[in-house]
Amino acid sequence: MTAVTERWIHAPSPTALPPTLSVICGRDKSLTHRAVMFASLASGFSRIHFPLLGEDCLSTMACFRALGVRIQELRPTTIAVVSEGFKAWRQPNVDLDCGNSGTTARLISGILAGQPGLRCRLIGDESLSQRPMKRVVEPLRRMGAKIEGRDGGNFLPLEIEGVALKACSHQVDKSSAQVKSALLLAGLFAPGVTTVSLPAGSRDHTERFLERMGAKLERSYQDDLETVRVEGPFEPLAGEFYIPVDPSSAAFFAVYGLLRSGGAIQIPHVLDNPTRLGFLRILERMSPALDTTSEADRRFVEPVMRIQARGGSVLRAADIVAREVPTLVDEIPILAVAAAFAEGRSRFSGLEELRIKESDRLAKTAELLRLAGAGVSVDGDDLIIEGGLKKVRAFTYDSLGDHRLAMAAAILARFGEKPSCILNSECVRVSFPDFYEVLDSVS
Ligand code: S3P
């Protein structure tokens, strides 16, 4: 068993806050996963600039290395991916270890299901081994995929025997980018049109990558439903991929900036994609002290912007409705921290997907706020936060290895008079390896 890591978080020592402080946050996890996947599928030499080298993305890289793709560091900020294309992938002689990463396990399932001649076994850590895989396994089976696993294929380990897939039409009942992406990726190997219809709002990076590479992809929207069609077969192209800063990482420092007593925090090069920025819309409802400015840098795989959050103003409570959740699904813990300090009661509705993230994030977010002395309750899958927190009680909080909870707890602890302790604190390596160093650098 691995030892439990712990970290004490203190309030910063009182100093005059600099008028504006630029904070360098980690690069985007979802985009790094996809850049590695598309570069590995392509035949040729690709470079990924500013990849996130967090544990989740390293798991994705390790899986493709096991399939024979060469992935090397060229410079500390650039990796090279050299592949002869998916048709040249070799049979791995090890299990493909997805670690803690749901994105790796679910997207790779879609890719491997369509590789005749390969037989792969996907494994993961304790948390990932308890997360449902049926949401991708069942629709993939309708395309002819041969996937076996624990509990009828609902849990890792999964055995995937690659076959020639058939294109088909899927109706998905969850707004999940992981499910949508797994099916679109599988569709690349199935001759004909694969259609995925699902509740709108989930991140659209897979679609954007495919559009950029010239795949025949169509999207349409009707009421709250989105439909994506992709035509297979399609071979992705090697290229240069510049990765922006992860809005899900920036969110911690945007909230920190708003909660401070003064000064401003600026975060440059943040991915500017509406399917990822629901948290900004909520913070804008809570405070007038948040600004964004588009940046003209066109190198990145998607547009980028600068976020600025000024401290010293009073936050107002804000509700989140179920339809908004897909656009801020990873930011609920840090938005809940903001709501704890706001004036009035906030209700975050329709959070059932949080129950099956790296932990039961809904219950664990409520636990964190309760430990710190905030008024909070859970009503079904809704989180109700009373607001008005003035004094953060010192706490000891077990993140259970869930990175987003550890980081939300650390931001909250910075406003306590006495230090607080985070157990299983080092899980931040999954998505933001130098999070604590960055936090220490900000007073
Ligand atoms: C992700 C999609 C989201 C998100 C996860 C990354 C992706 O999951 O929570 O951190 O990169 O596609 P769901 O699509 O399951 O909601």
Per-residue pLDDT of the chain (443 residues), as tens digits, is: 467 999 999 999 877 788 899 999 999 999 999 999 999 999 999 999 999 999 999 999 999 999 999 999 999 899 999 999 999 999 999 999 999 999 999 999 999 999 999 999 999 999 999 999 999 999 999 999 999 999 999 999 999 999 999 999 999 999 999 999 999 999 999 999 999 999 999 999 999 999 999 999 999 999 999 999 999 999 999 999 999 999 999 999 999 999 999 999 999 999 999 999 999 999 999 999 999 999 999 999 999 999 999 999 999 999 999 999 999 999 999 999 999 999 999 999 999 999 999 999 999 999 999 999 999 999 999 999 999 999 999 999 999 999 999 999 999 999 999 999 999 999 999 999 999 999 999 98
Nearest CA to ligand 1 atom 11: 30
Token representation of residue 242: 């510049």
CB 311 within 8 A of CB 260: yes
Q: How far is the CA of 124 from the centre of ligand 1 (A)?
A: 16
DSSP letter assigned to residue 439 = H
CB 443 within 8 A of CB 13: yes
Please indicate whether residue 204 is annotated as part of the active site.
no
223: left (phi over 0), alpha (psi -120 to 50) or beta: left
How confident is the model at residue 390, as a pLDDT?
A: 96
* Residues near 43 by beta carbon (within 8 Å), at least 6 away in sequence: 83, 84, 85, 88, 235, 238
Nearest CA to ligand 1 atom 13: 176
How confident is the model at residue 1, as a pLDDT?
A: 46
How confident is the model at residue 295, as a pLDDT?
A: 98
Q: How far is the CA of 175 from the centre of ligand 1 (A)?
A: 10
| Bond from prior residue into 268 cis (ω within 30 degrees of 0) | no
Q: How far is the CA of 11 from the centre of ligand 1 (A)?
A: 32
pTM: predicted TM-score of the whole model, two decimal places = 0.98
Q: How far is the CA of 330 from the centre of ligand 1 (A)?
A: 8
Please count the other Cβ atoms lying within 10 Å of the Cβ belonging to residue 61: 22
350: left (phi over 0), alpha (psi -120 to 50) or beta: left
d(CA 245, CA 74): 20
Q: Which atom of ligand 1 is nearest to the CA of 176?
A: 14
Nearest CA to ligand 1 atom 5: 103
Q: How remote is the C-alpha of 13 from its chain's centroid?
A: 32
Kindly write down the DSSP assignment for every residue of 277-332, as one continuous string.
-HHHHHHHHH-S-EEEEEE----BSS-EEEEEEE-SSPPBP--B-GGGGGGGTTTH
d(CA 63, CA 376): 41
Torsion angles phi and psi, residue 385, rounded to 5: -120, 125
Q: Which atom of ligand 1 is nearest to the CA of 326?
A: 16
Q: How remote is the C-alpha of 186 from its chain's centroid?
A: 21
How confident is the model at residue 16, as a pLDDT?
A: 75
How confident is the model at residue 2, as a pLDDT?
A: 62
Mutate to test the pocket of ligand 1, among 135, 174, 176, 302 (most ligand atoms within 8 A of CB): 176
DSSP letter assigned to residue 434 = T
Dump strand ranges (E) for 189-336.
192-199, 217-222, 225-232, 240-242, 264-271, 290-295, 304-310
State whether residue 188 is helix, strand or coil.
coil
* Residues near 289 by beta carbon (within 8 Å), at least 6 away in sequence: 258, 309, 310, 311, 312, 313
Per the document, the length of the chain is 443
- Taking Cα atoms as reference points, which of 314, 339, 325 lies closest to residue 412? 339
Residues with CB under 6 A from ligand 1: 30, 33, 103, 176-178, 181, 202-203, 329-330, 353
d(CA 335, CA 369): 11
Torsion angles phi and psi, residue 348, rounded to 5: -100, 110
Mutate to test the pocket of ligand 1, among 185, 203, 276, 402 (most ligand atoms within 8 A of CB): 203
Token representation of residue 362: 């809904």
| Catalytic residue, candidates 56, 97, 330, 402 | 330
How confident is the model at residue 252, as a pLDDT?
A: 98
Q: Which atom of ligand 1 is nearest to the CA of 34?
A: 11
Q: How far is the CA of 178 from the centre of ligand 1 (A)?
A: 5
- Residue position matching structure tokens 């392509």: 42
CB 342 within 8 A of CB 286: yes
Residue 46, CA distances (Å) to 35, 74, 98 in order? 9, 11, 22
Q: In this structure, is the dihedral angle defined by the CA atoms of residues 100, 161, 212 and 179, taken in order, positive or negative?
A: negative
How confident is the model at residue 15, as a pLDDT?
A: 78
CB 403 within 8 A of CB 334: no
Q: Please tell me the number of Cα atoms within 13 Å of 153 on its side-chain side.
A: 17
Mutate to test the pocket of ligand 1, among 31, 103, 174 (most ligand atoms within 8 A of CB): 103
Q: How far is the CA of 102 from the centre of ligand 1 (A)?
A: 8
Q: Which atom of ligand 1 is nearest to the CA of 177?
A: 14
CB 263 within 8 A of CB 19: yes
Nearest CA to ligand 1 atom 16: 176
How confident is the model at residue 14, as a pLDDT?
A: 77
d(CA 348, CA 338): 12
DSSP letter assigned to residue 113 = T
Mutate to test the pocket of ligand 1, among 36, 101, 178 (most ligand atoms within 8 A of CB): 178
Q: How far is the CA of 12 from the centre of ligand 1 (A)?
A: 33
Q: Which atom of ligand 1 is nearest to the CA of 206?
A: 12
- Residue position matching structure tokens 């081994």: 129
Nearest CA to ligand 1 atom 10: 330
d(CA 407, CA 384): 21
Q: How far is the CA of 32 from the centre of ligand 1 (A)?
A: 13
- Residue position matching structure tokens 């997207």: 107
Q: How far is the CA of 92 from the centre of ligand 1 (A)?
A: 26
